[in-house]
Structure formats: structure tokens, C-alpha cells
Structure 1
Amino acid sequence: MRSNMEQSATLDIETLKITQEHYILASQSLHLPRPGCEGGGCEGGGPGAVYGWRKRGLYFFLLLLLVTMIVNLALTVWILKVMNFSMEGMGSLKLNQDGIRVEGKSEFLSPLYVNEIQSRGEGLLVLKSEKNVTLNARNDQGQLTGQLTVGAEAVEAQCQRLEVRSSEGGRLLFTAEEEEVVMTTEKFTITGSEGAVFGHSVETPLILAKSAEDLKLESPTRTLTMEAPRGVEVSSAQGFLQISGRKDLQLESTEGEILLDANIIQLGNLPLGMFSKSTPQASYEQSIYEVCVCPSGKVYLSPAQSSSTCQIMNNICLWS
């Protein structure tokens, strides 16, 4: 028993010696000089210290970052100065409570969506484009409802109804729809040298020429027809009235009469009718003639005598 106790005491003393040796070795290792730091070349040797070329690279990076920040700040100040930034806007672009005001010329490279474009009170609103200027109107679904295109060759408007109103009072002057075109002006004037050409019928209450100018209604290749439910009036306050045609000239009244009311009525180039064989021939020196009418309505002349010389059976009425 005694030998066992002496043996355990010896083991504890040896263990204590080993522990003291480990502590001394650990303390000495903390004070050993690091490689490259002989002669006191290293300072502040903490656990996270940077040494050598890494330290110089870090300083260079910090210097480069500082220079970049200074350059960016200088460029920002220069841009603000050049663009004339202020609390009201930027340069010629001013921000108001009513919207945006642009002074001078402006160029838009992308579509512009606005509710209203208005010029200054003393200036004009000018829209310029190298190709054309197009104004589009769309509904809530984005569908195109109206379009106005101003091009080099034509001005085109695509809409359901085109209206032109006067500047005073907004009175309607002109409307154009798919089915009809209506002009509500008191006078429609055409000043072209060739007049106006209508491909189909024209409905109007009055056709009037300017003062001291002639009015001419002409159909060069077809028939000219004038109709009205209550009559057609053709009058000339000054000058003469001329109605001519290449073939037939027809004046027709279905229920009324045709009245030629004038001091002198002249019917020129009427054919001269000849007597039948039962009637003696008239003298060639005849100066007074009688106006005769065939059953067909053809008018011809017949030498006047004491009694009527109009013959039904003559060469004029037979061939009419």
C-alpha cells in the first residue's frame, strides 16, 4: 500500500515538471523574432497587420480611389454648371406648376406623350421634321382613333368626322364624313381657271358668278341636266344668256308651261319649209315668214301670206 502511494506521488511530480516545461516553451515562442524582422524592422506586429508589397498596394488603391472621387466630384460640378441646373429646372427647360416650359428649339428622338402643347402668347408653335409630322389620337385601349399626317406631298387626315370651325365663335364651316361632305358657309368660291369638275351630281340652291364675270355650266362629252321639284330659274341680270348644245336642246315641263318673256325673241337658223304641190310656190324675194310648228314640235319657217301657209305634209315635218 505504501509503495503505491509513493509511486503516485512520483508520477504527479513528473507531470508537473512536464507542464512547467510546456509553459516555458510556449512563453519563449511568443517572443521569437519573425522572419524578415531582425533588427527591429517590424512595428506593431498584430495578428491582422499587412506588411511589404501588400501594404504599398493598399496605399496605392486608397490613393487611386481618392483621385477618382475628386475627379467625379469635379465632373459633377462641371455638368451642373454647363447644363445650368437650378431649382426651377435645367437650362431652357423650366418646371412650373402648370407643366414644363421649353425656351428655344427642342429635339425629341422618341415619341412624346402629352395632354397639351401650347406656344407662348407672342410666338408661334412650329413642328419640324425631316420626313413628316404625324399626330395620333388613341382611346383607352390604345386603339388609333384619329391621325393627322403632314408630309412633303400631301396632308392626310384619318378620322370618322372632319370639322372646320371659324376662329370667332367656333361656327361650323365644313364637315366631311364617309357618306357626305357638308359646307355651311354662306358663299363657296372657286377661283381656278378651269373652274370646278364634278364627277357626279351636285345639289345646291344657287350657282352665282362674280360681278362682271361670266357663269358657264358645261358638260363637254355628256349631257347637262338641271332638275328641281319646283322649277329651275336661269337668269342674267346684265348681259345675255346663251344655251347651246351639240345635239338636241330639250326644255320640258311635265305639268306647267315654258314661258319665254322678252321684248325680242329670236330663233336663228330655222329651216325654211316648202309648199306642197297643191299650193303655188312663193317668190324667192319673200321677206316675211311665218313660224310653223310640226306635230313633233320642230319649228320651221314658211313664207307668210294672207292666210297660214303652214303645211302638215311637207318635207320638214315628214323628216322630223
Structure 2
Amino acid sequence: MDRSTSLDIEALKMTQEQYILAAQPNPLHQRAPSMCGGAPAYPAVGVGIYGWRKRCLYFFILLLLVTMIVNLALTIWILKVMNFTPDNPLILQSDRNVTVNARNDQGQLTGQLTVGSEMVEAQCQRFEVRSADGERVLFSADEQEISIGTERLRVTGTEGVVFSHSVETSHIRAEPFQDLKLESPTRSLTLEAPRGVEVNAGVGDFKASCRKDLLLQSSEGEIFLDASTIRLGNIPHGSAVDPLEGAPAGTTYTKQTVYELCACANGKLYLSPAEKGSTCQTTSNFCLWS
């Protein structure tokens, strides 16, 4: 075989190898861009959801739509029941207690308001009631004191006001055409002031009564009674005769109409029949036995 024949066989083998390589798929050649500068050549692949996946997707979309409709309906129903409208007041109703809590940044309870069927209870450091403009404090209460800032405190109860301890005030006045009464049924009643106590009845009477002793005492000054008429009722009657000496023989007494006011050494008063001279006796039977 000569040289030319061997070259033709080699060329035939190379041609077969190129054909085999061209027939095999090469991803690099498929993704390579075209020589004309166009988009890369990709094989056509079908895109879509089929079978049970498609049915599940439609089911979830339908469930989400139903949930949105139910939430919208519940929101409208709550707004309707709770009266959340600009034209109506806010009403909170409950078969039991209604409690409103206030907490700080650490979650600790700082204030609480409880509205129950029998009482309203507020738990806080200070409770205030202000006027309509918010400037004046009408009522305030804390652990130290209770302050009432109104010009007038009116109590309409038939039993009045009961205080278990002392009360400090600058003015006590009854309603028009009503009586003012200060009473202590089981203990003493004390009125004290560093510069004096004034009791004034502009049109009516002033009456002080007690079951035992009524004491008027002045440590430095005097007790002054200024009136056109001063009456001392139920003063006992004493005798003008000294009980140690007795009455003289043949002494007769007429009906007595004028009496003399006498005072014993212990301060007790009694009436003695008036005569030309004083009939008051320090050893009167009233002073000795009363």
C-alpha cells in the first residue's frame, strides 16, 4: 500500500470522529451565546403546575379568602356591639366586675379601677377629681390626707356626718332655715382654737345641753354674759335661816315672791328668800347637803 492510500484512511477516521462528537449533546455548546449577539440558546422547557399540586394551591387560596371574609365580618360585628362610633359613648359591659389596670415599664401594677355590682374600688397612690376645665382639684385622697376643694360641702343624710377623730375647719354653717347641731351622744364635745371660738346664731337661739356637767372655764380671762335678760332656771331654793341656830320663836313666813341669788363656797347657786338684809348663809342646808 502506498503513501497516498494511507493518508486517505487517516482522513476517513478523522471525519468519523468529528461526526460522532457533533452528534453527542454538549451543554457548553448549548449555553454558548450565538455569534450574532442574541440571547443564549436554551432548550424549550414546559412550565406549569399540574395534578394534586394545582388542587392544593386552589384549596389554600380559597381557605385564605374565607378567613379574610370571616375576620372582616367579626370586626364589623365587634364595632357594632361595642358601639365604637364617633357619635356614641364607649360602653363596657360585663356580667361580673370590670377592671382597668395600669402598669409600669417593668410590668408592676401601679393603678387599678374595679367596677363591681356592689361597689367601685380604686387602688392608686393618689386619687383626684378635677373640675371641667381641669384646673381645680375638687377632691383628692392619698395615704396622708383627704382634701375637698369645693366652696361648699353639703351632706344631705338624715344622720349627718360622723367623725371618729378630730376635725379641723374654719367655718361650719347650716343650710338656710335649718338647725346646726353638734352632738356627741357617748363622749365629750370639745371646741378648741388658739385665738377663740365664736358661736353665733344670727336669728335663732343657741342651745347647749348635756347629761352631766356643763363647764365654762377661762384660765386667764373672764366669762362675760351680755344680754338684756339672763335667766337661770331650776335653781334650788335654800333657807334664810341658819340650820345651826334655827328660827326664832313666833316667826311666821308669808308667801315668798322675791328671792336672792346666793353662791356657796364650792360655787353652787341657790335661791334664798329676800329680806331687808342678805339672807345668804355659808352654812345653808343646800350648801351642806347638796
TM-score where L is the length of structure 2: 0.71
| Contact 2:82/2:90, CA 8 A, preserved across alignment | no
| Contact 2:261/2:272, CA 8 A, preserved across alignment | yes
Matches within 5 A, 1:173-192: 173-192=138-157
Residue 223, structure 1, aligned to residue 178, structure 2 = no
Q: Which residue type is aligned with residue 255 of structure 2?
A: E
Distance 1:294 1:72, change over 3 A: same
State the match for 2:19 in structure 1.
Answer: none
State the match for 1:158 in structure 2.
Answer: 123
Residue 149, structure 1, aligned to residue 114, structure 2 = yes
State the match for 1:288 in structure 2.
Answer: 258
Percent identity over paired residues: 50
Matches within 5 A, 1:54-203: 63-84=51-72, 91-92=75-76, 103-106=79-82, 122-203=87-168
**Whole-Å separation in 2 of the counterparts to 1:171 and 1:289:** 63
Higher relative contact order (CA 8 A, sep 6+): 2
Q: Which residue type is aligned with residue 200 of structure 1?
A: H
State the match for 1:211 in structure 2.
Answer: 176
Instruction: Deviation per CA, 1:215-259: give whole Å up to 9, x if none.
Output: 111111111111111111112112222111111111112222222
| Contact 1:136/1:146, CA 8 A, preserved across alignment | yes
Distance 1:184 1:305, change over 3 A: farther
Residue 268, structure 1, aligned to residue 238, structure 2 = no
Instruction: Deviation per CA, 1:261-300: give whole Å up to 9, x if none.
Output: 2222221111112222458588361112222222322222
The 10-residue stretch of structure 1 (280-289 or 156-165) with the greater mean CA deviation from structure 2: 280-289
How many aligned residue pairs are there?
Answer: 237
* 1:194 CA drift (Å): 0.8
Provide runs of 4+ in structure 1 moved above 6 Å. none
Q: Which residue type is aligned with residue 256 of structure 2?
A: Q
* 1:106 CA drift (Å): 4.4
TM-score where L is the length of structure 1: 0.65
Distance 1:79 1:144, change over 3 A: closer
Secondary structure in 2 aligned to 1:76?
A: helix
Secondary structure in 1 aligned to 2:68?
A: helix
Distance 1:83 1:148, change over 3 A: closer
* 1:170 CA drift (Å): 2.5
RMSD of Structure 2 on Structure 1 (CA)? 2.9
Secondary structure in 2 aligned to 1:69?
A: helix
Secondary structure in 1 aligned to 2:161?
A: coil
Secondary structure in 2 aligned to 1:80?
A: helix
Q: Which residue type is aligned with residue 151 of structure 1?
A: G
Distance 1:203 1:286, change over 3 A: same
Matches within 5 A, 1:228-239: 228-239=193-204
State the match for 1:304 in structure 2.
Answer: 274
* 1:308 CA drift (Å): 2.4
Distance 1:283 1:206, change over 3 A: farther
State the match for 1:48 in structure 2.
Answer: none
| Contact 1:282/1:303, CA 8 A, preserved across alignment | no
Q: Which residue type is aligned with residue 236 of structure 1?
A: A
